[in-house]
Amino acid sequence: MVVILIARFLYTQAGWMRVKVILFFLNVRFLLVYIRALNAISLCRFSMLMFF
């Protein structure tokens, strides 16, 4: 019984770690896309200021 509880605890911990890692990678990817979009927007504004 105790072994089953420990195994279940370890499994849930591993599952939580996997979910956290997946969420972390998704957040990093989203941040990279967000930063790239911000850079593109700032570049567009800068080019428009240069043109006009």
Q: What is the pLDDT of residue 15?
A: 83
Q: What angle do CA 40, 45, 48 make, to 5 degrees?
A: 125
Other residues' Cβ atoms within 10 Å of the Cβ of residue 50 = 7
Residue carrying the six token digits 């370890």: 10
Q: What is the pLDDT of residue 29?
A: 94
Q: Which residue intervals of the chain are DSSP H helices?
A: 2-51
Q: What is the rounded radius of gyration, in angstroms, for the C-alpha atoms of the chain?
A: 22
User: Which segments in the chain show pLDDT lower than 50?
Assistant: none
SS3 1: coil
Q: What is the pLDDT of residue 9?
A: 84
